[in-house]
Structure 1
């Protein structure tokens, strides 16, 4: 099992049955029991499953859904090597990495959110001030990783100017291909034009650190963080925004207070920046729909972008 195996575009369809998945794992030297297989179709980029080997060790298996995902594996591996040596919580330790499979021993803990029959099931309360404080302290630790150390490790680094410019380009691309509610475009123009919203420094970020990717123990303590596909040095708000989006302003304030107490450096207009950043999340989905070319995603992104950001009828 060589975690540094050469990446190549995935050409096989994702496994549809436990037997298919076991055959794939066996080809990579990992022998699992069929009765232990549990599919967790949670991510847009990977099909995810859990299974145990003969000794009872639980494994996570990630099967890329398309070739473009395979191209990001090396970058994610570099991130894991960096953050694994820095954080006090666990991250995935890849034992297998190929163009058709990533596998690693399960990170300890239970995901803060899972999907059951398509509906979210919460292990943690995202409106809890206690969880917010734990979350803020974790982010302070992650964001303290030196940007130059990240660059040396092979992690993508964006300057504050590059972050802002990338948003300009992404918004322009999405508004070119989709009909976007004018209220959204007005908000985004205001956001991009106001210097006070934008960070003067960028930090090591996860990018999708919502409860589905945060593992906790029975006491609610954070034990691990998974799925580092979108991690890079970027705007610290891209991590903090999840506390605002899921918990509201009071919970966000608790997270930011813990963040600052643990060494984080919140900016003056962080709340308003996070409000607008969350609104711009529809841009990311539009880009994803364009990348995949899948009609279902295109239609869903179009509906989201056309919707009134304040909850009214689409334009």
Structure 2
């Protein structure tokens, strides 16, 4: 997100300025813009009176704070181990997380009405190479060092078990289109699709979480979903959104830089992306919010929603 991503200031501008001021940030109100699509945090970007620019993350629910504490520790740990920038949390309280704006612009932004604006060319070789390199270096970080921050750790077997458990839980509360349920069950059951190892993953690595300069990734943001888990998570979005030759380039770069691939990785990415509706169903159940439950139901059984 850039500071100009929204066309007008939020209705609660004065409240946000007061919140920042209470934490020692003197912001210029005319520069403040928000992004409202985040499920766990509301995000704002603004300039300060001293000329610096800041990102503000305001928690939407108290339960996200425990994960935020782990995220902050992870960022502190991995920052010196990666060659690209990650958020440097200068402020972290129960009301506000804030850090200096990182270099680059998001590869993708979402408007308040849900319209997606792309700011990076997914057919760009430069982006593919920088993604493959960044993911390889992330996955090379020692899993035990990362695990010591408190992030969730799963073995390859546990990764699949959680998918199966989540599918059963969602099926108990929602209608799932038969073709989707059959597809997801077949995916979970197919041994050849799944990796034999787990690594430190960002967990939601898509262009909206990569900041880009000249089609190369300069920073990665929003590490809330980081875990020791399936390496395909960090390659999935590129596999489903980039031309096949660009995903092949990203994957070749990933392997050349030390990453470990397997024969059916691309197919696994496709199936995992399809199963994203399961994760949204779990989120809807955990938050208990009617709007999320309705949206999840529409993804899980489009024919019933229509």
Residue 266 (structure 2) pairs with residue 274 (structure 1): no
Q: CA RMSD in A?
A: 1.7
Residue 292 (structure 2) pairs with residue 297 (structure 1): yes
2:169 to 160, 168, 173: 173
Name the counterpart of 2:239: 244
Q: Does 125-134 or 76-85 show the bigger shift?
A: 125-134
Name the counterpart of 2:61: 66
Asked whether the equivalents of residues 126 and 216 of structure 2 are also in contact (C-alpha less than 8 Å), the reply is: no
Q: How does 1:93-132 map to 2 (within 5 A)?
A: 93-118=88-113, 119-132=115-128
Name the counterpart of 1:141: 137
TM-score (norm. length: structure 2): 0.92
Asked whether the equivalents of residues 89 and 224 of structure 1 are also in contact (C-alpha less than 8 Å), the reply is: yes
- The alpha carbon displacement at 1:251 in A equals 2.6
Name the counterpart of 1:34: 29
- The alpha carbon displacement at 1:190 in A equals 1.1
Secondary structure of 2:81's counterpart equals coil
TM-score (norm. length: structure 1): 0.90
Cα distance in structure 1, aligned partners of 2:230 and 2:209: 19
Asked whether the equivalents of residues 78 and 155 of structure 1 are also in contact (C-alpha less than 8 Å), the reply is: no
Distance 1:128 1:220, change over 3 A: closer
Name the counterpart of 2:255: 260
Asked whether the equivalents of residues 124 and 215 of structure 2 are also in contact (C-alpha less than 8 Å), the reply is: no
Name the counterpart of 2:156: 160
Cα distance in structure 2, aligned partners of 1:66 and 1:97: 15
- The alpha carbon displacement at 1:42 in A equals 3.2
Cα distance in structure 2, aligned partners of 1:91 and 1:180: 38
Q: How does 1:39-54 map to 2 (within 5 A)?
A: 39-54=34-49
Secondary structure of 1:72's counterpart equals helix
Cα distance in structure 1, aligned partners of 2:300 and 2:14: 40
1:18 to 13, 16, 20: 13
Query: Per-residue displacement from partner, 1:180-205 (whole Å, max 9, x unpaired)?
Result: 01111111111111111111110010
Name the counterpart of 2:224: 229
- The alpha carbon displacement at 1:249 in A equals 3.0
Cα distance in structure 1, aligned partners of 2:147 and 2:229: 12
Q: Does 192-201 or 224-233 show the bigger shift?
A: 192-201
1:199 to 195, 201, 211: 195
Cα distance in structure 2, aligned partners of 1:139 and 1:83: 13
Distance 1:98 1:176, change over 3 A: same
Secondary structure of 1:81's counterpart equals helix
Cα distance in structure 1, aligned partners of 2:277 and 2:111: 24
- The alpha carbon displacement at 1:154 in A equals 3.0
- Between the two proteins, the alignment pairs up a number of residues equal to 296
- The alpha carbon displacement at 1:153 in A equals 3.3
> Gapped runs of 5+ residues in structure 2?
1-9
Name the counterpart of 2:51: 56
